[in-house]
Structure 1
Amino acid sequence: MKYLIFIILFGNFTFALAQKQNDLKKEILPPKAKKIEKKLEIHGDVRVDNYYWMNERENPEVTNYLNEENEYNEQMTAHTKQLQEELFNEMKGRIKEDDKSVPYKLNGYWYLTRFEKGKDYPIYSRKKRDLQAGEEVLFNVNEMAEGFDYYSLGGLNVSPDNKLVAFGVDTLSRRKYTIQVKNLETGEIYDEKIENTTGGSTWAADNKTLFYSKKDETTLRPYRIYKHVLGTDPAKDELVFEETDETFGTYVYKSKSREYIIIGSGSTLTTEYRILKADNPEGEFKVFQPRERGLEYSISHYGDHFYVLTNKDKAVNFKLMKTPLDKTEKEHWVDVIPHREDYLLEDIDIFKKYLVVSERNNGLNKIRIIRWDNSGEHYIPFDNETYTAYTSINPAFDTDILRYTYNSLTTPTSVVDYNMETKEKTVLKEQEVLGGKFNKENYTSERIWATAEDGTKIPVSLVYRKGIKLDGTNPLLQYAYGSYGSTIDPYFSTVRLSLLDRGFIYAIAHIRGGEYLGRNWYEDGKLFSKCNTFTDYIDVSKYLIEQKYTSPDHLYAMGGSAGGLLMGAVVNMAPELYNGVIAAVPFVDVVTTMLDDSIPLTTGEYDEWGNPNNKEYYDYMMSYSPYDNVVAQDYPNMLVTTGLHDSQVQYWEPAKWVAKLRELKTDNNILLFHTNMEAGHGGASGRFEALREVAEEYAFLLDLEGIRE
């Protein structure tokens, strides 16, 4: 009897505690952003934007508002801090902290990347001739990052004589890198600093000439290729190419054969290349094939030919062609692998005896091995429908070994050396999942097909713990991206286990706008077909509910960047389907941003979204732009995140969106907004600090489900 009384009293206490937490939440009032009317007029249409003033990055009132939202977020999630810490430690505990990459050999050295226990950043090193040699540390990024809130090292590029390495550093997260050169014999970092670059660079064969791409100061568009000679003033570097079309960006790299320096220019629909022999850095670049709108191609050098991956002749899924070194214009191109309706040709790797082709058929990655002497070809076999496989770092030319990477929704990542002659596989490394609890046999994955409103079948990849009953009570997180032809393949994630082990189902919706089912899948999800992306996502949600994987009370949506636009559109169109939504760095103020060509990336996006200076595109974009379509209705519980220094989606887009949602929404659901005041589009730079952001997102979901541990 006493035990029963204790249970009743404890239950009452628990209920009272929960009620008290709810009462405290009600007492915490969200920030109320001031309204300053701003009229935006074009095509005879007037929009009123009351939060346009948030675009003023240097305005103290903007900073104050962001800080107020952060403080509100802290207060509203105070009761989940212990859970966040537990999640962080749990996710960190699965990571092998003193991990290292599989070495690869380049120009007489073995290169590897390793991490030390407790350290956030990598150490880049190499060993001469064999792996038993002493380690030569190129960069210890942990030491370099000391004193910085954000630190990104990229573009590592060793000179042909192995004595120098160029590298780029970004300490603000605006993706504006400063290039410097380190002498690997003396350890000296030269004083020459090349500012405002992409971070990447390419050595000529003379070991003293460096080609690099510089960004426009305002738009951050990479638009100029310069040539720097060591020992000279970077301010006097020679301009070798300028991309004057504002819808294009430009970059520079070296062919795998190491014989050519290649300048590329690209927009969404069109590419163009220029070539120069690497041993002639003072020479003139030659246009490979002049740009033609709608003609896309990429080039690889082998022997007496260039191999051209292209959509020429209406090859929607691309084909492979070749052309002589001295006759590079398209009229000289001849087919090597013709166009196929059911195979998307994604990439090639060239070896002395083999051509390796990366393809996609029915959504699945395929790696095809073809002998140059036409004596045979075959595919590397894979055995399920929820895997990802892709060729890895393969700098060697005269070899039978292809290195590729494999993982699936249930299988950790493996690095494999595949003998293209004997067909033997050697697993060099399988990702370790520490903590002692992971067993891949405890999980199952499947691919299902939902039917869209226009009858199109939409593939969905799912993973969950075995034994789950499909009775509509399971919490389910549905993720998607759906833009730029970017395909979200089914991949393994150690952090995701924290959801799966707590009963969540995880779903990747392969919606139109990506290239999962080929190039037409992308074409059907952009410009005047963009709304297919949103309705596909919603129809997948409805199907998951119909099939009792979940229900509206337990369904959660997540997307970031252009996937954040997806979230914004979905919650306007079908808010009743979701209990919670996470929108990370969301691109939600589509029309205003695309009308402002001073914002980074805008002009290069016209072929993706349309140019709203054209009334037809304006009207269509206005039909789905999340910010412009916020209305007085109920919205799901929402967590919105951004970075103050984001150069891809400016912080003010989600800030304005949240302010407008607070003004108009008619529900009492949670709306949280967190701005990382030190980071940009990719979030925190350290490998462990980034986990804290995931822990925050997962705690938001688990809290809504009533899961406290």
Structure 2
Amino acid sequence: MALDSSGSATSNSGAVLSAPIAKRVPTERVHHGDVFVDDYEWLREKKNPEVISYLEEENAFTDAQTEALAPLREKIYEEIKGRTRETDLSLPTRMGKYWYYSRSFEGKQYGVFCRCPIADADDWTPPLLEVGVDIPGEQVLLDSNELAEGHEFFSLGASSLSQAGDLLAYSVDTVGDERYTLRVKNVETGELLPDEIPGTGGGATWSLDGTHVFYVTVDESWRPDSIWRHRLGTEPSADVRVFHEADERFGVGVGTTRSEKFLVIGADSKLTSEVWFLESDNPEGEFRVLLPRREGVSYSADHAVIGGEDRLLILHNDVVDGVKSENFLLSEAPLADPADQTILIPHRADVRLEDVDVFSDKLVLSYRREALPRVAVWPLTSDGYGELKEVDFGLTLFSAGLGGNPEWETPTLRMGLTSFVTPMQIFDYVPETGELLLRKEQVVLGEYNADDYEQRRDWAVAADGTRIPISIVQRKDAPAGPKPLLLYGYGSYEASIDPGFSIARLSVLDRGMVFVVAHVRGGGEMGRFWYDQGKMLTKKNTFTDFLSCARHLVDTGVTTPDRMVADGGSAGGLLVGAVANLAPELFAGILTNVPFVDPLTSMLLPELPLTTSEWEEWGNPLDDKDVYDYMKSYSPYENVEAKDYPAILAMTGLNDTRVYYVEPAKWVAKLRATKTGDSQLILKTDMTSGHGGPSGRYERWKEIAFEYSWLLGTVGLAEAEPAN
């Protein structure tokens, strides 16, 4: 096997392992008069033994290339493990007559779902459950470790209790392809009912009386397109499809209002949505549409009781007085006439309304202002609405949101708070007094002290003058001057990368690295317009924003190009793949998981999972030459050139149905054949997992340790000892 510019690796045994060179099988792709010759499309043939052999050769090469990092990997793994309370209990959540919680056990990969009875119906203070102390009346509802036994991969999909609390609908995926088998368990007797439905989506929803389960199935391209009704005790072949979405841009889901009065079907594309309601005590009735879909209008709706009357609360981005409510507004309407709306909270250019949660006597608004998520509580009174109050968490850089609150009537609200330096805190908020009662805080074993770290917000300026938020976290005792730095970005689907604590990240922070998030356009941090300016024919803003952030960090002396690594996964892999082509000299390394690096090929194949529904994100290159040309101009795979690249570690899963393994495989193969220089280039394929990587927590920690050891080695910190 010939060597390429990535060289060869020598194992401890002295054997030299050459970098794999994928064979070339030229395949022509012709669209809009453009001919593209793809030498590596043959790697898409997953069942071809030659493809599997090539991936295994890449894995062997990666093992040899990183063998010297094995002691560091093991050390980081032990650090993560050593900081984590392996045997623990979650904070109980009240629902019906029980407190529900999960347990974790040292040495076990997965959680155990449990409950215990409520001692006093008027007591909303969660019981203080302690490890090693018997819990009166405890029931184990579901032990994922037992379900996972004998499987290399395991993922729990649905976990839904009937309203009476006696039946549990759950589903499992043991392959990693996100297709689940749905089962029903009588949790009072422990009996597993004969009902078994293969090939479902991840969720399940009960009718009010517990006689029917509603679930989702996907079509051949993995699009959730149908809602089915299953009556307990009948064969799946008798199930009734109650909703089918023919438009390939849309996916569907099913749930209930918190009041449990209505079953709800949502049909959503990236730009348009439609909601259907049905009384949950009439499961065999006909769903009715609330507001017929209109192109470009997204909305959601929930049931409220205001002044003793059933009402709808509708969050939408429709045009009002000639102006598009791009950041959404909140309106109220009669249940009988959803179109007869009264605006409660008007659209604001500086506030993005994201959600409204309805309870019997209050509303909770979730929104985003100044690139941070916020929460406000709005009482419902006999006259209508009381005084809306934003919850003050006392931090300047944070992430806060509503937690699990399944009950319609509740005197307190479960909320979560975290930051880059604050382990997750869970509060019960008391609306009447404004108190935040700390109920549980994520335990970090060892000597973790938040005061040893600092987080701050900075701003870069893009080429067009747009200010790009940057979040920075590091140790306070880090030496002055430029430091090794990991720059993370995503920038798609209006997803916001909010401040969050990570036990694993301490292993790199404590060795002197700075962790930075570039909140680039295409995400949602600054509102809907932020998203709109980083998609379709403005997608390149995502990449140039990231480069502006990188240059800002260099210009301000935070780091240097030879000590900075770019990190992004999935659509964030597209981002870092693109910047590797645009400005390879800015980075010492590129770290990417399940990277979407061959986007044009995927968007030209409507039979692939997600493709048609993604056209509203990227554009439709099949029908639009401008979109085709634009995507081709930034596709990481199609723009690989004969030049020096940073070190690259690409990781993927063989069973990924969102971003096929073939994308990073083709990308690495083309880089090997094209790039110059001797920088490291390695591909690691998990042969049993999908988009989310390994399923068990210990396996995930090992995967993180692999990434972090490579990261530290790339920036020259492989020998660094952690502080503390």
TM-score, with structure 2 as normaliser: 0.93
Matched position secondary structure for 1:627: coil
**C-alpha distance in 1, partners of 2:400/2:662?**
37
| Cα separation, 2, equivalents of 1:24 and 1:568 | 34
Once residues 647 and 589 of structure 1 are traced to their aligned partners in structure 2, the CA distance between those partners, rounded to angstroms, is 14
Which digits, 9 at most, give the CA deviation of each residue in 1:400-424, with x for residues without a partner?
Answer: 3111100111111100011111111
Indicate which of 609, 626, 632 corresponds to 1:616.
626
Equivalent residue for 1:129, pick from 118, 134, 144:
118
Q: Does 1:360 align with 2:368?
A: yes
- Matches of residues 221-620 of structure 1 in structure 2 within 5 Å? 221-303=223-305, 304-313=310-319, 314-328=324-338, 330=339, 332-373=340-381, 374-434=385-445, 436-472=446-482, 474-613=483-622, 614-620=624-630
Counterpart contact for 1:553–1:579, Cα < 8 Å: yes
Alpha-carbon deviation of 1:35?
A: 0.2
Are 2:153 and 1:150 aligned? yes
Paired amino acid for 2:87: D
Q: Distance in 1 between matches of 2:284 and 2:448?
A: 57
1:55 equivalent in structure 2:
44
1:207 aligns with 2:210: yes
Distance 1:492 1:62 in 2: 39
C-alpha RMSD over aligned residues: 1.6
Answer yes or no: is 1:98 the counterpart of 2:87: yes
CA contact under 8 A between 2:655 and 2:661: conserved in structure 1? yes
- The aligned counterpart of 1:78 is 67
Shift in CA distance, 258/20, structure 1 to aligned 2, threshold 3 Å: closer
CA drift of 1:682 comes to 0.2
- What is the deviation of 1:24? 10
The answer to whether the Cα contact below 8 Å between 1:684 and 1:690 also exists between their aligned partners in 2 is yes
| Change in CA separation of 1:298 and 1:25 when aligned onto 2, cut-off 3 Å | farther
Q: How many residues align?
A: 686
Q: Which amino acid aligns with 1:411?
A: T
Q: Relative to structure 2, which stretch is displaced further, 233-242 or 633-642? A: 233-242
Specify whether residues 312 and 20 from structure 1 end up closer, same or farther in structure 2 by C-alpha distance, changes over 3 A only: closer
Deviations 1:268-300 (A, max 9, x none): 000001110001111111011111110100011
Q: Following the alignment from structure 1 to structure 2, what is the Cα–Cα distance between the partners of residues 369 and 316? A: 23
1:33 aligns with 2:43: no
- Cα distance in structure 1, aligned partners of 2:386 and 2:14: 71
Question: How much has 1:650 moved relative to structure 2?
Answer: 0.3
Following superposition, the deviation at residue 25 of structure 1 comes to 10
Counterpart among 172, 184, 189 of residue 186 in structure 1: 189
Q: CA deviation at 1:351?
A: 2.4
Partner AA of 1:306 in structure 2 = L
Deviates most, 357-366 or 648-657 = 357-366
- The 3-state SS of whatever aligns with 2:50 is helix
Q: CA deviation at 1:695?
A: 0.6
Residues 1:63 and 1:21: Cα distance change in structure 2 (over 3 Å): closer
Deviation at 1:20, TM superposition (A): 11
Partner AA of 2:474 in structure 1 = Y
| SS of residue in 2 equivalent to 1:688 | helix
Q: Deviations over 1:584-632 (max 9, x none)?
A: 1000111110010111010110000000011111011111011111111
- Local SS of the residue matching 1:34: coil
Change beyond 3 A, Cα 1:155–1:500: same
Specify which of 49, 52, 55 is matched with residue 66 of structure 1. 55
Deviation, 1:707, is 2.5
Corresponding letter in the other structure for 2:201: T
**Corresponding position of 1:694:** 704
Give the conservation status (yes or no) of the 8 Å contact 2:228–2:239. Answer: yes
Cα displacement (A) at 1:144: 1.4
1:505 partner amino acid: V
* Match for residue 116 of structure 1 among 100, 105, 115: 105
- Tell me the equivalent position of 1:198: 201
Note if contact 2:9-2:17 (Cα within 8 Å) is conserved in structure 1: no
User: Which amino acid in 1 is paired with 2:598?
Assistant: D
Letter in 1 for 2:704: V
Q: Deviations over 1:515-546 (max 9, x none)?
A: 10111000000001100000000110000000
- Output the CA distance in 1 between the equivalents of 2:497 and 2:701: 20
In 2, distance between residues paired with 1:688 and 1:492?
19
Runs of 4+ deviating beyond 4 Å: 19-27
Change (3 A) 1:21 1:179: closer
**Deviation of the 1:188 alpha carbon:** 1.5
**Residue 27 of structure 1, CA deviation:** 4.9
1:379-436 per-residue CA deviation (whole Å, 9 max, x = no partner) reads 11133332110110112233331111001111111000111111111110010101x2
Task: Give the Å deviation of 1:470.
Answer: 4.1
Q: Corresponding residue for 2:3? A: none
- In structure 1, the gaps of 5 or more residues are 1-18
TM superposition shift of 1:656: 0.4
Q: Percent identical across equivalent pairs? A: 45
Q: Secondary structure at the match of 1:193?
A: strand
Alpha-carbon displacement from aligned partner over 1:344-377 (angstroms, at most 9, x marks no partner):
1111122233221111111122111222234422
1:23 deviates by 12
1:61 and 1:467 map into 2 onto residues whose CA distance is 52
The one-letter amino acid of 2:689's match is A
The one-letter code matched in structure 2 to 1:362 is E
Q: What amino acid sits opposite 2:560 in the alignment? A: S
Indicate the residue corresponding to 1:10 in structure 2. Answer: none
Q: Deviations over 1:492-518 (max 9, x none)?
A: 111000000000000011000111011
After the TM superposition, which of the residue ranges 124-133 and 69-78 deviates more from structure 2?
124-133
Could you tell me how far apart the structure 2 residues matched to 1:395 and 1:547 are? 47
Match of 1:46, as an amino acid? V
What amino acid is the match of 2:710?
F
Q: Which moved more, 1:680-689 or 1:362-371?
A: 362-371
Contact in 1 for aligned 2:460/2:470 (Cα 8 Å): yes
Cα distance in structure 1, aligned partners of 2:589 and 2:59: 19
Unaligned runs of 5+ in 2: 1-7, 120-126, 128-134, 720-724
- Secondary structure in 2 matching 1:662: helix
Which 10-residue stretch deviates more, 392-401 or 440-449? 392-401
Deviation of residue 201 (structure 1)?
1.1
Structure 2 SS opposite 1:641: strand
Aligned-partner SS, 2:706: helix
> 1:35, 1:51 within 8 Å by CA — same for their partners in 2?
yes
- Is the contact made by 1:470 and 1:548 (CA closer than 8 Å) also made in structure 2? no
Find the counterpart in structure 2 of residue 9 from structure 1: none
Amino acid at match of 1:352: S
Give the SS at the match of 1:265: strand
Residue in structure 1 matched with residue 132 of structure 2 by the alignment: none
Preserved CA contact (<8 Å) 2:414 2:426: yes
**Alpha-carbon distance in structure 2 between the residues aligned to 1:84 and 1:482:** 30
Q: Determine the C-alpha separation between the residues in 2 that align with 1:395 and 1:678.
A: 35
Contact 1:364 1:385 in 2 (8 A): no
> What is the TM-score with the length of structure 1 in the denominator?
0.95
SS of the residue 1:110 aligns to: strand
SS at match of 1:675: strand
